[in-house]
């Protein structure tokens, strides 16, 4: 493997990892694991949305609940935008619903972290194909 193809493969792994973070299941979609990508997207998105439903958007608190915010950010960069909104607007979530919402949204982020690792590993092992290349 020459240095050019190592660079291309490394760039492909980076793109797969970023796609998996930006959209849950996106990395698996890029390596043509469409069913798996759909299951991942549905599971992580629904888990995150249930957490928001239970505890409101106030569970995403980058200042007051930063230990929970770190795993929440693994769900998607959209969480960063939501965290900025809660900080600026002053949304808060207290009590048991807030705690349960934080747990659900954090679990969604940790599940997505595992899926990011899975997508990059599958792409590294050659299970995925670079989009645009035809089979010879």
Q: How confident is the model at residue 115 (pLDDT cuts 50, 70, 90)?
A: very high
Distance CA 90, CA 67 (A): 18
Tens digits of per-residue pLDDT, 68-101? 999 999 999 999 999 898 888 887 778 888 899 9
CA 116 remoteness from chain centre: 7
Output the DSSP codes for 65-103: THHHHHHHHTT-THHHHHHHHHHHHT----HHHHHHHHH
Per-residue pLDDT band for 21 (boundaries 50, 70, 90) equals very high
Cα 97 from Cα 111, distance rounded (Å): 21
Mean per-residue pLDDT of the chain: 88
Greater pLDDT, 78 or 133: 78
Question: Domain segments of the chain: what residues?
Answer: 12-124
Confidence class for position 136, pLDDT limits 50, 70, 90: very low
- Angle at CA of residue 19, ends 35 and 108, nearest 5°: 70
pTM for the full predicted model: 0.85
């Amino acid at each position: 493997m020459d240095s050019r193809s190592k660079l291309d493969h490394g760039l492909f792994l980076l793109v797969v990892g970023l796609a998996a973070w930006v959209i849950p299941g996106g990395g698996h979609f890029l390596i043509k694991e469409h069913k798996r990508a759909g299951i991942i997207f549905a599971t992580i998105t629904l888990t995150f949305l249930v957490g928001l439903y239970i505890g409101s958007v106030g569970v995403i608190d980058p200042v007051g609940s930063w230990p929970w915010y770190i795993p929440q950010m693994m769900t998607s960069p959209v969480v960063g935008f939501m965290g900025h909104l809660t900080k600026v607007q002053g949304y808060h979530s207290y009590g048991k619903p807030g705690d349960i919402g934080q747990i659900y949204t954090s679990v969604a982020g940790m599940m997505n972290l595992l899926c990011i690792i899975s997508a990059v590993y599958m792409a590294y092992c050659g299970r995925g194909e670079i989009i645009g290349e035809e089979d010879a």
